Structure formats: structure tokens, C-alpha cells
Amino acid sequence: MKIKEVRINGFRSYKDNTHVSGFSPRSNVVVGRNGSGKSNFFHAIQFVLSDEYAHLKEEQRLGLLHESTGPKVAHARVEITFDNSERRLMAFDNSEVKIVRQVGKKKDQYYIDNKMVPRAEVVNLMESAGFSRSNPYYIVKQGKINELATSPDSYKLKLLREVAGTRVYDERKDESMKILKETKMKTEKIQGLLKYIDERLQTLENEKEDLKEYQKLDKTKRSIEYTMYDNTNKEAMKEKTKLDLAKSEITSKDNEVKNRLAELVVEVAKCKTEKSKLDAHGRALREDKETLHTEKTKMTENDIKLSLEIKSLLEENSNEREGRNRAEESLQTVTEEIAKCEEELEVIKPQYVELVQEESRLNTDIRINESRMKEIMAKNQRPRFETIAERDRALNEEINHFASLIQDRKEQLAIVQRELEDVEKEEINLNNDVQAMGLKISEARLQMDNITEELPNLKDQYDNAYNALQSASREEKAIRDQIANLEQDETAVYDQLRRLVARPIFNGINGVKQVMKEFERDNHNGQHDDVIRGFHGTLIELIEVDQMFITAFEVIAQNRLFYHVVDNDRIASKILRKFNEMQLPGEVNFFPMNRVSAPREKTFTPRKDARALSDAVDYDAKFDKIVRTITANVVIVRALDQNAREIRNEQFDVVTTDGDQMSRKGVMTGGFIDKKRSKLETHSKKMAIKRDIDALKVNLRAAEDNVKEKTREAEQARNRMTQSENMIIDLHRRHRELTEAKKAISQQYFMVAKMKEPKTDQIVQIKNRLRELEAQQATLKAELGTEMNSQLSAEEQRTLQELRTAVDEMKRKLADVSQSRMDLMHRKNGIENRLTKKLYKTKENLASRVENITDHERSHRLKIAEAQRASLQTQMKTIDDQLEAASRELEEFENQEKSISNNLESFLEQQKDNEKRQRDFQAELDKIMAKEEEVKLKREDSLRKMRLLGALPTDTFSKWQNVKQRDLEKKLIECVNDLKKYENVNKKALDQYMTASTQKEELTKRMDEQKRSEASIEELLEVLENRKFEAIDMTFKQVSKNFKEVFKQLVPHGSGKMTLKAGDEQDSDPSRHRVESYQGITVMVSFVSDDGTSETREMTQLSGGQKSLVALAIIFAIQKCDPAPFYLFDEIDAALDAQHRKSVAAYFQIFFQKYLSVPELQFILCSSFSAIFAPSIARTRKKMIRSLSDQAQFVTTTFRPELLSTAEKFYGVRFRNKVSHIDAVTRDQAYDFVEDDTTHG
């Protein structure tokens, strides 16, 4: 078994995860300076495998954790991987086995192959691989050699005991001694008890005779006492009979009172229920009356407001009508005046146009003639041209210029003419728009009139629909009140049923209802459909019993009435499971139809006054088996008479209509049954109320639908009325908008009409200017091609004169025309200004006032107000009728309430009196019960005393039965006096004698067993002492022999021996085994001195190096006795001088080759000295390592290069920043490290 890998994390100087792997199966070397962490590497292995770190306290665990700068280490972990290819660890089939130990502040854990195990399992595993717990020297750490070298002889003896394995014998001996001590204590106790029992038996033998006489007198005494107690018991029985009769009489009276109280309670509950209903009805009546009063008050206020509004509207209409008539008269006058002005303007306008045109024409002709005159006069003033062609070119340029101007004027004329046409078209369109607006205004006025006439009818329709809605709402409220009253009755019946049914059963019924609701809520994907469909309810809900036979059926069915009927037992199990999951209280019973089998039913021959119970029950056919389990072979009769007995003899169970029963086995049961407490009757009432509620709910839904329909109709009527009112408002608004639009279009029309005259004047001016330009152009064209003269010709002068004369004439004519135009223009403007600024606006204002629809709106409001007032007065009349009816109904209600209150007070008074009677009866019953208790105690005391008397003589009853009580008392006194003579006699002497004899036999047997056990234990102790002596003696002989040989090899010219040192024989205990007399082991050795002499000495007389050498010899001798798979040596040569180190090195070669030739041996050696393998013995060392490596794995630490030459694997230990590191290095790096360390050592 070899080490393959070692992982260290957080252990002492190793902080990070240090992984040492790749060990050679032969020779490995670890090099490192002092303090670098070599010893901590070995301590890590020892931490996992050794007992030294077995039980660590918290501070010791913290001491193993790495401490340095940086994050704090939470735990220390060491993992060792062993090569198990040879299956040395037989418990594992793996080729590798990992053992891990991890400690922290709180935990200490072991793992084998990543599985947590206890430490004992790791220890057992290592022992199975060859690690003996009795040999602590397969790991030798620093200081161990020195400790052994300086230890006393007793320590060496203790070490020898451990090697010999005497710990097992000592543990067995301690256990045996403890058992022996306990056995001796038990033996002494048994001896004491036997002595006491012997003395007690002697005393009891003397007491037996007195006891016989005492027993004779005691029997007589007990017989008399029994007779006296029996007489007392008989008297108590007579007294109890009298008390029972009195109690029965009072109980009968008390039952009558209780029945009357029950009746009164029912009557009081009925009265309270009726009173509650009446209170609710009274509140509703008062609320209705108050509501009607409030509505009437509001209607009265509204009526006053409407009357005032109607009056105001009438006055406003009257005033408006007068103003409108005046406006119509004024409008007629203004219209006539406008017509006159327009006629006059129509006459003036053509004249004015002719004058304007004439004036323009004259101005143009004057300018043309003047222009010609200027042209003729300009001929002399033009620049002199050399030739006619040059002149003509200049004239052509002017002609072209005039042509351009003429073209511009023509284009301008065309534009203005088009604009004038557009203005005329716009004027026509605006005039048409004004006419259209007038038509739209008339249409809107007509629509307003039609809708206004229709509005009262719509108001009547709405009022009728609203009244129908109120009637339907009252009907719905009445049905709701009836349902509320019935629900109160249902609650009262439910409470009564709850009081009649046992609480666990009732809670179970409610719990099952909750369970079914939970199933329905959770049935999202149909997973509970089978439960919902398969649950049918309780049996009482599935049957109907004839009223006459309810009592008979109920006494037969009993609590089975409340069993839950389901299709199969699987559904019942689901319900029960859910019931328990919800932790609901109560008792639940089921009738699973797949499991219930009805009993065989006999044929019943019908006869008078008898019928089968099954004929009195109505139910669904699928529940036949369930019902027949109750009704099978049961017959109802009128009375338990001869007829009933005959039916019973036919093996039928018989029951009367009053509930008395007679079974086929002859048992008769019966008694008073209060039918008012019948569960079936109460349930029938509940079901009848439920049916009434269901019927009313159907009516309620119809009433609600009717209310919805009436609400819809009222809403439709209101919407139609509102729609008409909104249409009127829209028409009013549209009328105003159309009026405003007509006014705006009219103004726009007048503005467009004004634009025509400027356009006409502009056209005339452009035409005149065009004629003037064309004349100038024609003059220039006429001059083309004429002769060039320096003076005007006669023709030109004559033309010039004619032109001047014509110009003067036209100017005179122009002056007359201009004056006429101005006069006519002033007249035209005056008429136009009067029309536009006064007459047209006045007409428009008057027409707007005449056409104003404010009066129409006012009339509309007036009609609406009158219709509302008429409807309001109708409603007020209806409310007055309703108030009168409500007052009458309220008066009747108050009379009923008074009557019910009187009845309730009477019932309560009777209830109070009966409760007082009941308390009196109860007080009498308490007295009787107290007497009964006293008699009972007296009787029980007599019976108890009779029982305590025990067995009596056979003649007791015949001898003392007829003796008087006084004579019995005298005889009893005599017996008591005679018994006083034997007061001190032991009454249990015989029993105690027999018991003591039995105990003596048992103790004698136990005494023999204890002695045999004591002898066996002493024999075992002797065997253990002998075996321990043999183990120590054999181990000592082997170690002594090995020590002699090892020391001879280490010190060839010396000798050594070991002897056992015994104690003083005079002081020794003879009973003590001789192995206990050993006090230590003495080691005697001799060394050859420098002068060649030798002397035998003890350990205390040796030098430090010699002591270390002897200690090594002892360790090697022990190892030869009990070899381990591998060894850890840490600086074992610390105290050796050079000569002794050579001797040890020489011994290693022999030791490894001869004694440790184990196939899986691993040897780990740690040393900070190089002299142990000095150059002088390098050759010997190389042979030793080579020999060892052929048979085992070898790991060593050195500072000398000689050992490196035989190694196959090298590791270097470095210490940086307070952290140790182990790295694989090459051979050259290992040589450099050793040489560097030797240089700086």
C-alpha cells in the first residue's frame, strides 16, 4: 500500500490547496530548509492517521488552522490517496482509496471515498492494513528520540506493555474486577437477608397457635356484623322505594310543567316571530308613508313652481305679442319707403351712367386732340435726322412702345371685365343663398311647431309608463317582503331542527355541505364530477312520509334519517378524506348504494288497521334498497293489541302511530313522544317553507323581469320626450344660426353690389385710355414715309387750328356734362346712403324682431309646464289615495301589533309562573335526591362493609337471621371484648410464614449462583494475568534479542542488553501476580573508548549522543517485532554525532534489505542534517536506497547530493509570505537547492 497523492488545504503553514502527486513507486526525495514546512507535511499525514490528534478541543482545532494575512481560513483539510491495487484494504475493491479529515471551529469530520464516516472506521481500516495501535513508532517525529532517551525505566516498561498489546487484557481485567465487586456486594446482601429470614421464621412459628383462636372469634364477630349490615341494607331499600314513589310523582308534575313550558316557548317564539314580521312590515309601512309624504311635499313645491312659471310665461307672451304687432306695422312702412327709393334710384342710375360715359368720352377726345396738336407742334422740336429712314426707325420705336402700352391696356381691360362678371355671378349666388336661407328658416319654424304639438302626448306616455313602473316595483317589493318573512320562518325551523338533532350529527351535516361546496369550487376540469353527481344528500331529504305515520317512521329510522346517500363507497371515502383535511367537526355516516343490501322482505297479508311501513313512504325508485333497510318487515298498527301480537308472531316488527314498538323478539318499547319535537315534522315544515320560497322566487324573477320591462318602457318614453325636447332646442339653435347666416349673407350681398360700380368706371377709363393710345399710334403711323420739312405745312396748320377749335368746344361741353353728372351723383349718393345706412338696417332689425322665435320657445316652455303640472296633479291625487290606504293599513297593523304584544306578555307571564313552579319542583327533587343520596351512601356503606368482612361460615344466615338487633349488638360486644385479649396477635402470621419460606428458597438459589459467578470471574482474572505475563515475557524476549542485535550492528565493538527490573520481594503481596511486580526495564550498554577500553553503563550514565543512539536501537528493535506498511521519521539524527550518524546510515542498509522486505513498504525520512549520509558512506547509502526502492516506496529529505543520485522523484519545500509550498522539481534543481542550502547553512 503506497501513498499516491496528498492534498493539504489550510493546515498550519499550508494555506492554499497544496497538491503533492506523482510519487514514484520507489525512491522520492523532499528537500527544504529548516522552518520551511517539512515537519508540517508529516504532521498533516499524522493528523489523518495517528491517534495523537484524535480528540481535539476547540482551541486545539483552531491551532491547526492556517494563520496569515488575507482572508481567514475556515477549516483545515488533508486528503491522502492510497494505492490499493494489491487489495491490502480488503473492504474496498477500488484501486485507490481516499481518506480525508477536515476540522473547523465546530466540526471534526472524516471521509472515506467522499463518504462521511466515524473516526473508529478509519482506525479499523488502518489496522486492517497493518498499522498496529500498540506500536506508536511507525511515525517518529522530532523530539521523540530525545524523549525515549531521557525516559525512566518505568516508561520503557509501559512502552513494552503497549507493544505486547496488554491494553486489551487490562481493559478486560478492569471490567471483570468491576463485575466481581458487584457480585461480592450482592452475595453479602443475600447473606444478610437469609439471616433475617431465618430469625423471622422462628418468630412466626410461635405466633401460629394464638392466631387460630383469634380467627375463631373473628369469624363469629364478622357473622354478627354481616347480619347487622344486611338489616341496615334492607331498611335502606324500603326507604329508597318510598323516595322513588315521591320522586315519580314530582317528576310527573314537573314533566307536565316542562311540556307546558315547551308549549309556551313555542308560542312565545311564534309571537316573537309574528311580532318581528309585523315590526318589519310596520317599518315598511311607515317608510312607505314617509316616502309618500316626502313625494307629496316635493310635488306640492313643484306644482307651486310650475304655476308661477306658467304665469310668468303668459305675461311674457302677452308683452311679446304687442311688441311684435308694432314691429310688423313699422316694417310695412319702412318696406314701402325702401320701394320708393329703389324706384327713384332705378331711374337715376341709367342717367348717371350715361353722363359718366359722356364725361369720360369728352375727356378722352380732348386728350386725343391735344395729343395730336402736340405731335404736330413737336415736329419742329424733334432732333434733326439725317435721313427719312433714320426718322422712320425712331417713329417705329415709338409706335412699338405704344403698341406695348395698348396691349397692356387690353389685358387690363379683359381682367377687369372678368372681375365684373365674377362680381355679378357672386351677386346672383348670394341672392339665391338669401332666398334659400329664408326657406330653411320657414322649415325650421314649421318643424318646431309640429314637435311642440306632439310633446304633451309624449309627456302623457312617460307619465303612464312611470306609474306602471311604480306599480311593478311595489309588487316586487311585496314579493321580497314575503320571501324575507318566509326566510325568517325557515331560520326559526332550522334552529328548531338544530336543537332536535344531536350536535355531532348536525355538525357533520353542515361539514359535508361545506365539503361539497369545496368540491364544486375546485371542479375546474371536471375532476370531481363523480363526487358531485354521486352525492344525493341525507335520507330525510330524499323521502316524503305521510303525515299520519311520521312518528312511526321516525322511531324506526332514528338517526339513520341523517345518513348521507352516495352512489358508492369510493365517493364516501373521498368526502371523508376531504372532511378530515378541512378539520371539520361532527359525525358523518353514509349509505353507499353499492354496498347496502336490503334484508329479505316477508310477504305481509293486508288486514284491517295495519299496513306495511314501506307503503307510508314516498321516494325515488333508485333509493329503494336504502329505504327498505329501514322499512323491511315493519308493520304500522293503531295499537299494541291482539292484532299486533298476531302480526309479531308472523315475525314482523310492529310500531304504532304513536311510536310504541314491539319487536319480533318480544321486546316492547314505548312511552310519551312529543310530536312537536318530531324531526320529520320539523323537516317537512322546513321543506314546505323552502318550496314556498322557491315559488316566490319564481314570481320574484317574473316581477323583476316586469320591472325591467317597465323600466325599459319608461326609459324609452323618457328618451322620446327628451329627444323631442332636444330636437326643439336644436331647431331653436338652428333657427338662430340660419337667421344669423342670412343676415351675414345679406351684408355680403350689399358689399358685392357696391363693388360693381367701381369696376364699371374702371372699364370706361381703360377703354378711353386705350382709344387715346390708339389715336397717338395712328398719328405716328401716318407720319411714316412723309417728307422731312423744317416748317409746318399749310395742311398741318389748318388741322392744328381745327383741333384747337374742337378742343375748346368739347371743354365747354365737358363743363356742362360734368356739372350735370355731379348734380346727379349727389342725388344718387343721398338715396343710396339713406337706403344702406338707415332703411335697410331698420328693415332688417324689424324683420329680425318679427321673425324672432323667442315667443315660440316661450310657448314651448309654457306647453311643457302646463303638461307637467297636469301630470303632477294626477300623481298628487294618486299619492293622496295611497296615503289614505297606507294610513288605514298602518292603523290595522298597530291593532295587530298591540294584540300580539298582549299575547306575548301573557305567554311570558305564564312562562314565568311555570318556571317558578319548575324551580319549586326542582327544589323538592333536590331534597329527595339528597335523601336518596344519603340512603344510597348508607346502603353502599353497608354493602362495602359486608364485602370487607370476607368469607363467612355457612351457618351465618340461618344462625343469626332471626335474632333481634339488640341481641346482635350485645353478642357483638362480647366478641369484641374477647378479641381484645388477642390484640397483639399477628393476623398474617401464616401468610408471612409461607412467604418467608418461599423467599428463603429463592435466596438460597441466588446465593449459589452468585458464588459460582464469583469463582468464574476469579478464574478469568487468573487467565488474563497469565496471558498478559506471557505476552509481556514473549515481547520482552523478542525486543531484548532484537536490541542486542541492532546495537551490535550500530556499535560493532560494543554490546547492549535489556533486563526486567522487579520490585522488592519482601514488600510484594503474595496474592499479586508476578507480572504486576515489574517496575521497569533497565538498559545496559558498553561503548569502546578512545583508549580501547569498554565499560558497561546504564542510560543515565551515557552522553546525549549515546542516549539517542540507544533510543534508536530500541525503536528499531520494536519495529523488527511489529513492522508497519510505512514509516515516518522526522530528524531522528538530531542528537547524533558524526560517528554515530555513520553507524545509523550503515544500519539502514541492512535494516531495509533484511528486515523490512515488505512488498508494499513505504518509508518517509525527514532530516535537516546531511551527516547521516556522509560522503564517507555514500557508497553504502546508495546500495541501501537502491535495495529499499526495489521492494518499497521511499520518500526522504536530505541536504546532500549523494542521496539525490538514487532518487526518481524530487520535491522542494519553500516558505514564502508565511505560506509553505511543495512543488515537483528536477534533479538539477534539487542539486542546486542542496548546494545553496549547504553554502548558506
Q: Is the dihedral of CA 567, 573, 577, 583 positive or negative?
A: positive
Instruction: Give one DSSP letter per residue of 891-945, joined into a string.
Output: HHHHHHHHHHHHHHHHHHHHHHHHHHHHHHHHHHHHHHHHHHHHHHHHHHHHHHH
Give the 3-state secondary structure of residue 1058. strand
Task: Compute the distance between CA of residue 877 and CA of residue 864 in angstroms, rounded to an integer.
Answer: 20
Average pLDDT score over residue span 890-895: 81
Cβ(455)–Cβ(857) under 8 Å?
A: no
Cβ(67)–Cβ(76) under 8 Å?
A: no
Grid cell of 935 as nine digits:
340512603
The pLDDT assigned to 956 comes to 61
CB atoms within 10 A of CB 460: 16
Is 1109 exposed, middle or buried, given 0-12, 13-18 or 19+ CB atoms closer than 10 A? Answer: buried
Grid cell of 725 as nine digits:
325636447
Residue 516's pLDDT band, with cuts at 50, 70 and 90, is very high
Identify which of 985, 950, 975 has the alpha carbon closest to the alpha carbon of residue 217. Answer: 975
b/e per residue 889-917 (b: at least 16 CB within 10 A): ebeebeeebeebeebbeebeebbeebeeb
Residue 604 carries which DSSP code?
A: P
Angle between helices 166-378 and 965-979 in degrees, nearest 10: 120
- CA trace torsion 954, 957, 959, 960 (10° rounding): 140
Give domain limits for the chain.
499-690
Cβ(854)–Cβ(736) under 8 Å?
A: no
Residue 142's pLDDT band, with cuts at 50, 70 and 90, is low
97 strand-pairing partners: 82
Residue 1200 carries which DSSP code?
A: S
Q: What would the pLDDT profile of 1003-1018 be if each residue is shown by its tens digit?
A: 888 888 888 888 888 8
Cβ(40)–Cβ(11) under 8 Å?
A: yes
Long-range contacts at 168-177 (CB < 8 A, ≥ 24 apart): 169/1024, 169/1025, 169/1027, 169/1028, 169/1031, 170/1028, 172/1020, 172/1024, 173/1021, 173/1024, 173/1025, 173/1028, 176/1017, 176/1020, 176/1021, 176/1024, 177/1021
Chain-wide mean pLDDT for the chain? 78
Cβ(294)–Cβ(940) under 8 Å?
A: no
The pLDDT assigned to 513 comes to 92
CB atoms within 10 A of CB 958: 8
Over the Cα atoms of the chain, what is R_g?
72
Average pLDDT score over residue span 589-617: 86
Q: What would the pLDDT profile of 520-536 be if each residue is shown by its tens digit?
A: 988 888 888 999 999 99
Instruction: Give one DSSP letter per residue of 734-783, joined into a string.
Output: HHHHHHHHHHHHHHHHHHHHHHHHHHHHHHHHHHHHHHHHHHHHHHHHHH
Identify which of 1176, 1217, 1174, 1221 has the alpha carbon closest to the alpha carbon of residue 1199. Answer: 1174
- Residue tagged 422712320 (cell numbers): 392
The pLDDT assigned to 1175 comes to 38
Please determine, for residue 319, whether its predicted confidence score (pLDDT) is greater than 90.
Answer: no
The pLDDT assigned to 434 comes to 79
Q: What would the pLDDT profile of 468-514 be if each residue is shown by its tens digit?
A: 888 888 888 888 888 888 888 888 888 888 888 888 999 999 999 99
Identify which of 781, 800, 802 has the alpha carbon closest to the alpha carbon of residue 378. Answer: 800
Cβ neighbours of residue 879 under 8 Å, at least 6 residues apart?
Answer: 292, 295, 296, 299
Cβ(23)–Cβ(1227) under 8 Å?
A: no
Identify which of 468, 306, 399 has the alpha carbon closest to the alpha carbon of residue 863. Answer: 306
**What's the fold here for domain 499-690?**
Alpha-Beta Plaits (3.30.70)
Identify which of 555, 559, 566 has the alpha carbon closest to the alpha carbon of residue 540. Answer: 559
Residue 89's pLDDT band, with cuts at 50, 70 and 90, is confident
Containing 682, the helix (H) or strand (E) segment is helix 679-783
Q: What would the pLDDT profile of 69-88 be if each residue is shown by its tens digit?
A: 677 888 889 998 888 887 77
Residue 1158's pLDDT band, with cuts at 50, 70 and 90, is very low
- Residue tagged 297593523 (cell numbers): 893
Cα 421–424–428 angle (5° rounding)?
Answer: 140
244 φ, ψ (degrees, to nearest 5): -65, -40
Grid cell of 677 as nine digits:
319535537
Cβ neighbours of residue 336 under 8 Å, at least 6 residues apart?
Answer: none
Residue 1128's pLDDT band, with cuts at 50, 70 and 90, is low
Q: What would the pLDDT profile of 955-982 be if each residue is shown by its tens digit?
A: 665 677 677 777 777 877 877 777 677 6
CA 525 to chain centre: 23
Please determine, for residue 1064, whether its predicted confidence score (pLDDT) is greater than 60.
Answer: no
The rounded percent of the chain whose pLDDT value lies above 70 is 82
Average pLDDT score over residue span 1186-1204: 52
Give the 3-state secondary structure of residue 167. helix
What is the pTM assigned to this prediction? 0.41
Q: Which amino acid belongs to residue 442?
A: S
Long-range contacts at 128-131 (CB < 8 A, ≥ 24 apart): 128/89, 128/90, 128/91, 129/1, 129/88, 129/89, 129/1125, 130/1, 130/88, 130/1123, 130/1124, 130/1125, 131/49, 131/1124, 131/1125
What are the E-state strand segments in 1167-1204? 1192-1197
Q: Which amino acid belongs to residue 611?
A: R
Please determine, for residue 258, whether its predicted confidence score (pLDDT) is greater than 60.
Answer: yes
Residue 985's pLDDT band, with cuts at 50, 70 and 90, is low
Cβ(907)–Cβ(267) under 8 Å?
A: yes
Average pLDDT score over residue span 654-665: 85
**Higher model confidence: residue 570 or residue 1235?**
570
